[in-house]
Amino acid sequence: MRFAIKKKTFSIAVAAMVASLLVLVTINTTARPANVNQDVGVLRVAQSIPLPGVKGRIDHIATDIGGQRLFIAALGNDTLEIVDLRSGKRIHSITGLREPQDVTYVPEINRIFVSNGASGSVSIFGSRSLRYEGNITFREDADNLRYDAHSKYLYVGYGKGSLGVTDVMSGKIIGDIRLAGHPEAFQLETKGPRIFVNIPSARQVAVVDRDKRSVIAVLPLKESGNFPMALDEKRHRLFIGCRRPATMLVYDTESGREVARIDIGRDVDDISYDPVHRQIYTSCGEGFIDVIRQTEADHYEVTARLKTARGARTSRFEPESMLFYLAVPSESGKSAEIRVYDFLTK
């Protein structure tokens, strides 16, 4: 029986610790761990795109695959930065935002949605004109965004504990799902109604039925700082990044059982799952990307630790283009930048 249909709290069945960490690798090192299969993709820096004048923390990233653009929520700079990947340059900066935390591009209607932490609103811009087209106003702290292309609904994590449901066609709020605390990263099933939501303040992952618009189960965590999350829907595995201690937890989404835990770098803020290479990428503010290989549904091993820069904890993997993007904030006179990674296969 799937755990999502049982409305109760699950105890954690702690899986055995990963036997050992493998040899670490930096981005300028050609050696690989001896037991990594030769067909496994290795990330390498293919391009660095400067963001001159962008100060402070950089939050999340969205992609425009057809237009070959990136949209970067520069929270500390109160701007949305637009990068052209063909030319490798920033082509525009939208100012006047208030702590932009996340950004979503909806190609069906050529709109960009940007959440603002300080104002509690989601700002809407035309993706071609880049002109302001309006706001969707929530009570406070509009944060993570996820778009459901099937229903045309945009889910907005906000306030002290809610997911707002917005119809992107009308720009109107049509529902609200109450949670136990402020939601951080959350993931939507594409072949089911569930949403998995990180709630760090409550040390839990809430399981939401988006048809019923209610919480149907809870995964309690002993760890804290569970901010990022990724989902392998095909193998029913949920990846949860925790900061204290620095750990990635793996849960079976059918049973609600913890099946693995892996030590990762400190200050993790984004996790991505790569279904082609069956790898997970964790970007950590400590200054590393951990590459974790999924050998089986319940078995994982760290195959590389890529040196980046302190504070570079925001990232995005794009399965369609097979590119990985890392936001590096400005530091010690160095300009902020976006590092674009592709894959080297030996």
201 has pLDDT over 60: yes
pLDDT at 148 over 60: yes
pLDDT digits (tens, 9 = 90+) for 251-304: 999 999 999 999 999 999 999 999 999 999 999 999 999 999 999 999 999 999
So what's the pLDDT on residue 346? 58
The rounded distance, in Å, linking the Cα atoms of 295 and 279 is 9
Does residue 319 carry a pLDDT above 90?
Answer: yes
pLDDT tens-place string over residues 208-265: 999 999 999 999 999 999 999 999 999 999 999 999 999 999 999 999 999 999 999 9
Phi, psi at residue 75, to the nearest 5°?
Answer: -55, -50
Q: Which CATH class is domain 42-344?
A: mainly beta
For residue 154 the two structure tokens come to 């945009």
Q: Name the more confident of 302 and 37.
A: 302
pLDDT of residue 2: 56
pLDDT band at 332 (very low <50, low <70, confident <90, very high): confident
DSSP-derived secondary structure letter, 169 = T
pLDDT score, position 137: 96
pLDDT of residue 100: 98
C-alpha dist (Å) from residue 147 to 115, 131, 166, 211: 13, 21, 9, 15
pTM: 0.88
How far is the C-alpha of 296 from the C-alpha of 84, rounded, in Å? Answer: 37
Q: What is the pLDDT of residue 32?
A: 36
Sign of the torsion angle spanned by Cα atoms 49, 55, 56, 61: negative
More confident residue, 23 or 1: 1
Average of pLDDT values for 177-193?
A: 98
Spatial distance between the Cα atoms of 102 and 80, rounded to a whole number of angstroms? 10
Question: Which pLDDT value is given to residue 204?
Answer: 98
Residue-wise pLDDT tens digits, 57-84 = 999 999 999 999 999 999 999 999 999 9
User: Do the Cβ atoms of 298 and 312 come closer than 8 Å?
Assistant: no
Confidence band for 3, pLDDT divided at 50, 70 and 90: low
pLDDT level of residue 344 (50, 70, 90 thresholds)? confident
3-state secondary structure (DSSP) of residue 13 = coil
For residues 31-38, average pLDDT = 38
* DSSP-assigned beta bridge partners for residue 323: 318
Residue 31 pLDDT level (bands cut at 50, 70, 90):
very low
Question: For residues 23 and 102, which has the higher predicted lDDT (pLDDT)?
Answer: 102
The residue ranking higher by pLDDT, 189 or 6, is 189
Q: Where are the domains of the chain?
A: 42-344
- b/e per residue 272-293 (b: at least 16 CB within 10 A): bbbeebbbbbbbbbbbbbbbbb
CA 42 to chain centre: 20
3-state secondary structure 271-314: EEEECCCCEEEEEECCCEEEEEEEEECCEEEEEEEEECCCCCCE
Output the pLDDT for position 17. Answer: 32
Q: Please, which pLDDT band fits residue 165 given cuts at 50, 70 and 90? A: very high
Mean pLDDT for the stretch of residues 162-175: 96
Q: What percent of the chain has pLDDT over 70?
A: 88
**Quick one: average pLDDT of 118-131?**
97
Residues in the chain, how many? Answer: 346
